[in-house]
Amino acid sequence: MNNLKKLSKNASQCVKCGTCLAHCPIYAETLSEPTTARGKLSLVESLASGNIQFTKKLNNLLFSCLICNTCGENCPNDVNVGEILLEARRELIDHRGLPITKKFLFRHLLNSIHALPLYLQAGSLIQGLLLKKIPKESGLQLRFSLPFLDKKRLIPALAKNFFCEHYSPAAKANIEKKRVGYFVGCATNYLFPHIGEATLRILNKYGVSVSIPSDQKCCGLIAFGSGDWQSTQKLALSNIEAFEQLNLDTIVTTCASCAATLKNFYPKLFEDADDETQKMVERFSHKIMDISQFLTQEIGITSKLKKLPLKKGNLSRITYHDPCHLNRTLGITKEPREILKSLSNLEFVEMNDASRCCGMGGTFNITHYDLSMNILKHKLDTLETLGVEMIATGCSGCIFQFMDGIHQRGLKTRVVHIVEALEMG
């Protein structure tokens, strides 16, 4: 059976009941059926039956999706919409080719060890020219309009020192009880090195030495989500190779999107590969652990934290946003909350609809900026009503999105990664 037929068979499991309409963050804004899961699934079916072709329109419709898979999670018929759409995008790219900008980015930049940092370092130098600094926030705003970026948006500043360059190959604990690998990910490496630094401090503190291979690359999600499996496979193989020689049992991540890619999408990419490759990929994926999971399960951090005496006085209040990739892809929801609840200096407050997608969706935020921000609006409304000082999450994409939206609305809420919150606790 060819791929398209297989896809269509899966898509036809959708009985068009419409339950997805209640859960799709995009439909809530557009109220238009082509943006729903059942709409897109019926397009996939029609594609296989030859009723429609690989047109630009189809391309736009299949990319009008956050792949948050909230629809799939709530589907009475258990249709894995997210996976079907990711595969449909692959078919699209196979038939239509990659847009030139994406081709350059995925096939050249992401894959080249030296080129990306070089470009980015150049970027770090010229960002003062392109972007204007906003005094109080750590972010930057566009100074000039660019064709693919909205001028209003807030962009995090490129780090002066990229994380891996500084901390690779390892950060050793004084008394080593465990050893793990750290898959850093692009956002932490180039934009948020402080997340990586906090991670190292915490791990070292609990006797965990951390290996940070310098030749690790982008996880590839941006290419995978765009349908470019070929580039993602290349990235996957070099990442696996970078860690394989270190003989580690565990590789931690601090970005939900990277974790989902390494753990769930890598094996998918190699489903048709030879046995040996499949086994190697499985072995690698099996080692991947989100930092909150590692800290709670392997370190028992919550019981260690609870031993600290409670401080008196007005505690800062913190809430938590579930990244789609942690919650729906990997099923991690308890661990980050357990950590936040056991912090002595912070009061954890649950927000309504904590698992509602923030609207980032990788490149969706670039191709559909206004829509993406309208989706975020629901979360910001909740945050504003809740009136918390901080919101914690576990995904660089969500952090990026919240920073932008919070800045534009002029809220005082600080966006932090779970590991940052932990250091405050």
Partner 1 sequence: MHKKALHEIASIVGKDNLLTAKEELMCYSYDATNQKFLPEAVVFALNPQQISEIMLLANQYLFPVIPRGAGSGFVGGSLPVEGGLVLVLTRMNKIIKIEPENLTAVVEPGVVTGSFQQKVESLGLFYPPDPASLKISTMGGNVAVCSGGPRCLKYGVTKNYVLGLELVLPTGEIIGTGVQTLKGVAGYDLTSLFVGSEGTLGIITKITVKLLPLPENKKTLLAIFPHLDDAARTVSSIIQARIIPATLELIDQAAIRCVEDYLNMGLPTQAEALLLIEVDGDRDTVTKQKERIKDICLKNGAGEVKIAHNSEEEEQLWKARRSISPALLRLNPHKVNEDINVPISQIPEIIRRINKTAKKYQLINVNFGHAGDGNIHTNFMINKDNPDEVKRAKQAVEEIFKATLELGGTISGEHGIGITKAPYLEMEIGKKNLSLMEQLKHLLDPNHILNPGKLSLT
- Contact positions toward partner 1, by CB under 8 A? 13, 15-19, 21-22, 31-34, 36, 38-39, 42-43, 46, 51-52, 55, 57-58, 61, 76-78
CB-nearer residue toward partner 1: 206 or 369: 369
Minimum distance from CB of 20 to partner 1 (Å)? 9
CB-nearer residue toward partner 1: 43 or 416: 43
Minimum distance from CB of 286 to partner 1 (Å)? 27
Minimum distance from CB of 9 to partner 1 (Å)? 11
CB-nearer residue toward partner 1: 75 or 422: 75
CB-nearer residue toward partner 1: 78 or 271: 78
CB-nearer residue toward partner 1: 54 or 369: 54
Minimum distance from CB of 32 to partner 1 (Å)? 7
Minimum distance from CB of 371 to partner 1 (Å)? 13
CB-nearer residue toward partner 1: 59 or 344: 59
Pick from 406, 420, 417, 423: nearest CA to 137: 406
Q: Give residues with Cβ within 8 angstroms of 342, minimum separation 6.
A: 301, 302, 303, 305, 306, 425
CB-nearer residue toward partner 1: 28 or 424: 28
Minimum distance from CB of 336 to partner 1 (Å)? 23
Minimum distance from CB of 58 to partner 1 (Å)? 5
Minimum distance from CB of 111 to partner 1 (Å)? 33
CB-nearer residue toward partner 1: 69 or 296: 69
